[in-house]
Chain A
Amino acid sequence: MSTRDLVLAALFAAIIVALGLVPPIMLGFIPVPITAQSLGVMLAGVILGAKRGGLAVLLVLVLVAIGLPVLSGGRGGLATFFLPTAGYLVGWFFAAVVTGYCSEHFVDRSQNGIVQIAGFFLAALLGGVVVDHLMGIAYLAFGTGTGLATAFLGDLAFVPGDVLKAMIAALAGRAVMVGYPLLPQRA
């Protein structure tokens, strides 16, 4: 891994942390404020690709583990990995890697804008929603002894918000690709 890639991953980790510290952003058509941190995870995959995006999220998780309050709401410390929701947190890493891998394969500079956005959206959906939620559900069902069915139902409440974040990640991913073409997709 080149020094530049290492720096990119570290800077993106700082962005993900910053997105958790800023006040939640209200979206016009949903009454619930969204925390932008899981958006940051999808963005890491979409913008940096699997390797660097995965490293960026891994760095955030290491910061959590070593006791810095870097998660939204000032959460942090080892305790966060023992909560029933820890599956979603650990799932971030896999979400970023899957989103990154898919982005690298779905999106090409030669495609037109709509296709690129669709490719990024699909990648963010697969990683940030499917992979992350599956891991979250699996650990929720095991960690609390709640049945799989119940964990699945509880999870559904968060799906619409995350689908929306995948859309934002796709639009932002394309905008960054156009606005900063010096950032190669490959790691």
Chain B
Amino acid sequence: MKSLHVEGDTFLHRLPAGLKLAGLAAVSLLLFLLHSPLLLAFAAVAGIGLYAMLGLGWRNSWQRLRVILLTIVVVSVFTLVINSPVDAAAVFFRLIALFLFAATITATTSTGDFIAVVTTAAKPLEKTGLITASDIGLAIGLVIRFLPEVLDRYQAIRDAHHARGLKPKPLTLAVPLIILTLRNADEIAAAIDARGIRSQK
């Protein structure tokens, strides 16, 4: 799994992840309160400027952004047809600005930094007794560790279908995939407990 993070040492890379996320939250709130297309267009230009600071080049940027850009265009056209052109312009610029700010933070923050922020943010959750903050970090690690195995297993089940001349169907793919994957849970849990990775009972 390749993260959307981009290695680099720009000013944005050096800012603490928590600060960047708090900034994003504040900016998004502000952008939803603004309704003037002109002001929002300025925000969009600021977003473009910020993203350009990453120095990814046109081709790479387009590859990364195109799927979501398409969604934004569809929504804007939808708004144009249903509401007014002014509304459509406001929606378009607001989404472009938000999207680029968010994409910049994603690109300049490493997965490790994010997990640290998530773990800190999850501290209040410990009071509910449902989960501890360190469990979240452990669980994220587990997902990333076992994703390739799940994908391999999916491929194997698909190949087995082809080998028997069966057409792959959602049901016949999902059920063996789930049972085979979840059956590992006991072993993995035992391995985690044997190593004393989780400190509590």
Q: Which residues of A contact B (CB under 8 A)?
A: 1-4, 6-15, 17-19, 21-22, 25, 27, 34, 36, 39, 43, 47, 51, 55, 59-60, 62-63, 65-70, 73-85, 144-147, 150, 154, 168, 171-172, 175-176, 179-180, 183
Q: What 1/0 mask marks residues of chain B from 161 to 176 whose CB sits below 8 Å from any chain A CB?
A: 0000000111101110
**Within the complex, which residue of B1, B78, B138, B178 is in contact with A6, where a contact is CB–CB below 8 Å?**
B138
Top 7 A-B pairs, shortest CB-CB distance: A66-B114, A10-B142, A77-B106, A78-B102, A79-B102, A67-B106, A82-B98
Chain A nearest Cβ from B151, distance in angstroms: 5
Chain B: residues with Cβ within 8 Å of the partner, total of: 71
17 A-B pairs besides A34-B170, A78-B24, A80-B68 with CB distance below 8 A are A6-B131, A6-B189, A15-B181, A59-B143, A66-B118, A67-B109, A68-B4, A75-B67, A77-B4, A85-B71, A145-B90, A150-B82, A172-B171, A179-B179, A180-B178, A180-B179, A180-B183
Chain B residues, CB < 8 A from A2:
189
> CA of A32 to CA of B114 in the docked complex: distance in angstroms?
36
- Cβ–Cβ < 8 Å partners of B5 in chain A: 67
Interface residues, chain B, with chain A CB atoms under 8 Å away: 1-5, 21, 24, 28, 67-68, 71-72, 75, 78-79, 82-83, 87, 90-91, 95, 98-100, 102-103, 105-107, 109, 111, 114-115, 118, 130-131, 135-136, 138-140, 142-144, 146-147, 149-151, 154, 168-171, 173-175, 177-179, 181-186, 188-189, 192-193, 198
Chain A contact surface mostly = helix
Beta-carbon nearest neighbor of A142 in chain B: B32
